[in-house]
Structure 1
């Protein structure tokens, strides 16, 4: 069975960075339609979930 990539802190760090860039690009648009707002919410939701998952994994990881 393959490991879940969302359990790997390095993958999560990369995902957070990608989502931050995606959010910045999205916010640079002058469009503020309903579809823009919905896309903004989707990106933010994914970003928050990835950050929370990363924090959870790092807290559970034994200190070395």
Structure 2
């Protein structure tokens, strides 16, 4: 991945976190872990989408 691609992903992830926090939420440690893997290029956008959909299906007690 290019530095520009990584920076673009970093900005998108920071935006997502900021929006969540503005709405009174906080990303779970798992979400932060997935975002970092996506930023670093370890998972694709599709992989991120699939992982997030699986994550939100988990019972609340196991999300963190």
How high is the TM-score relative to the length of structure 2? 0.45
Larger radius of gyration: 1
Higher RCO (CA < 8 A, seq sep 6+): 1
Normalised by the length of structure 1, the TM-score is 0.45
